[in-house]
Amino acid sequence: MSKILIIGAGGVGNVVARKCAMFPEVFSDIMLASRTLEKCDQIAKAIGGDRIKTAKVDADNVPELVTLIKDYQPELVINVALPYQDLTIMEACLQTKTHYLDTANYEPKDVAKFEYKWQWAYHDKFKDAGIMALLGCGFDPGVTGVFTAYANKHYFDEMHYLDIVDCNAGDHGKSFATNFNPEINIREITQKGRYWENGQWVETAPLEIHKKIEYPDIGERESYILYHEELESLVKNFPTLKRARFWMTFGEKYINFLKVLQEVGMTSIKPVVYEGREIVPLQFLKAVLPEPSSLGEGYKGQTSIGCQIKGIKDGKQRTYYVWNNCDHAACYREVKAQAISYTTGVPAMIGAMLMLTGKWQGKGVFNVEEFDPDPFMEKLNKYGLPWHEQVDKPLPVEADK
Ligand code: NDP
């Protein structure tokens, strides 16, 4: 029986709140807090039964967070606001000795660069305070780290090649929209690509390397190499990896929209002066694009995200592919969300459940792959994200067309 505080009432916050509310035996009391109180109230009302308390909080403000945490006294804070707030929320957790969980790593507002170094730097402070932080517990990062740890535990003596493949074959019917916070999403896609090879990072131009990859029950989709944050922790925690890459699908139309927006300067994070005040073009763009939480209704098709791994077992070459397919419409029926919010919110709930029931325990700052993957894998099957695996079959990422 535990009290939790969820911060952020967007697409993912809605799923985390609804999923946690389903398990009162673990999450006995839930508070949902965010910048806009009405969004919290709407979610609480939809869940009903007085399950969710709500509050307004500016998560950029440490004293405000500390006051809220001291008043409510949760055991764990689930941060599903934006990556900009990771450090302020971690700081408030430290000051109040409260466990912490998030789904995306910190990035400063004025540089599009996401790295774990700022959050890993809290390890000793969290350890000394006797509390735990679990970083990146969504799908990617999150389940992709658990999948990799599961492969390592059960199928390999040494993993050598890892390809994370992320396909969204859904159609939301809008001309252009992003599936999670537009500002964060566009910053991620428009920066240089990067992958790990032979002990170093190889940099590419944005979306430079691409090819068709076959996804289960979906078919072939053009997939692009991006830098994604879990690569940083996975190559650190599995040092036998000779190469680690992350692939994501984008449709031609999406790429064209993005190119135009980039070329006219709308994706820039450098402030411009407009009618006497400074505005950041990308923040203005976010304000006119659909909110991720509004995309669920009528969204059709599936996502497919998985890990394709090559390595050695008992002296022989082995290949392994583990993945989940998730249907947008089924997510909407269950929790009024699209699959990107769902595949992020369910793992956050599972991570929180494992922490609060003592199955994943530690003092300090951790990434998901540092814990036993088995209870997490079991709960994915149980709570809405069933997975499939293939052993010693050709890997779709390697098929040459
Ligand atoms: P949304 O933009 O839909 O929601 C973000 C929420 O955070 C909004 O409710 C917003 O409030 C709130 N917020 C923003 N700034 C503050 C602040 N200073 N104080 C309090 N609340 C604030 O984004 P998503 O729900 O799609 O994404 C949430 C998080 O999940 C992001 O960090 C994203 O990167 C991560 N994510 C992780 C994935 C994974 O697989 N690991 C995949 C997808 C997302 P307001 O409504 O007022 O703007």
Cα(34) to ligand 1 centroid in Å equals 9
CB 138 within 8 A of CB 16: no
CB of residue 39 inside a 6 A radius of ligand 1: yes
The mean per-residue pLDDT over the stretch 126-138 comes to 98
Pairing relationship of beta strands 364-367 and 132-135 according to DSSP bridges? parallel
Give the model's confidence band at 188: pLDDT under 50 very low, under 70 low, under 90 confident, else very high.
Answer: confident
The CB-side HSE value for 147 (13 A sphere, CA atoms) comes to 31
374 has pLDDT over 80: yes
- CA-CA distance, 287 to 297, in Å (whole number)? 20
Distance (angstroms) between ligand 1 centre and the Cα of 314 equals: 44
Distance CA 265, CA 270 (A): 10
pTM: 0.96
Regarding the beta carbon of 59 and ligand 1, being less than 6 Å apart is answered yes
Tell whether the model's pLDDT for residue 401 goes beyond 80: no
Amino acid at 361: Q
Q: What is the mean pLDDT of residues 375-394?
A: 98
Residue to mutate, 12, 233, 346, ligand 1, most ligand atoms under 8 Å from C-beta: 12
Residue 400 pLDDT greater than 80, yes or no: no
DSSP secondary structure letters along 262-291: HHTTTT--S-EEETTEEE-HHHHHHHHSPP
Side-chain-side CA neighbours of residue 12 (13 Å): 27
Which pLDDT score, from 0 to 100, does residue 181 have? 85
Token duo for residue 34: 């965010």
Range 143-335+385-398 has CATH code 3.30.360.10: yes
Nearest by Cα to 93 from 117, 118, 115, 76? 76
| Residue 13 Cα: closest atom of ligand 1 | 25
Rounded average pLDDT over 371-399: 97
Q: Is 295:303 a contact under the CB 8 Å cutoff?
A: no
- Predicted confidence (pLDDT) per residue in 299-339, tens digit: 999 999 999 999 999 999 999 999 999 999 999 999 999 99
The architecture CATH gives domain 2-135: 3-Layer(aba) Sandwich (3.40)
Taking the centre of ligand 1 as the mean of its atom positions, its distance from the CA of residue 180, in whole angstroms, is 8
Ligand 1 centre and the CA of 296: distance in Å? 16
In this predicted structure, what is the pLDDT of residue 234? 98
> Which runs of consecutive H residues, i.e. helices, occur in 357-399?
373-382
For the segment 213-238, the average pLDDT, to the nearest whole number, is: 97
The whole-angstrom separation of Cα 58 and Cα 85 is 9
Query: What separation in Å is there between the alpha carbon of 87 and the centre of ligand 1?
Result: 14
153 sits in which H/E element: helix 143-154
Of all atoms in ligand 1, which is nearest to the CA of residue 83? 32
User: pLDDT value at position 201?
Assistant: 97
Q: Which of 82, 139, 144, 326 to mutate to test the pocket of ligand 1 (most atoms within 8 A of CB)?
A: 82
Antiparallel, parallel or unpaired: β 243-249 and 272-274: unpaired
Give dist(CA 160, CA 170) in Å, integer: 32
Structure tokens at 263: 């070329």
Separation of alpha carbons 95 and 70, rounded Å:
10
Q: Report domain extents, the chain.
A: 2-135, 143-335+385-398
pLDDT of residue 52: 98
Asked whether 184 lines ligand 1 (CB < 6 A), one says yes
What's the mean pLDDT in 235-252? 96
Closest residue by Cα to atom 34, ligand 1, is 104
Give the separation between CA 15 and CA 35, rounded to whole angstroms: 17
Residue with CA closest to ligand 1 atom 3? 10
What pLDDT does residue 127 have?
Answer: 98
Kindly state if the Cβ of 82 falls inside 6 Å of ligand 1.
yes
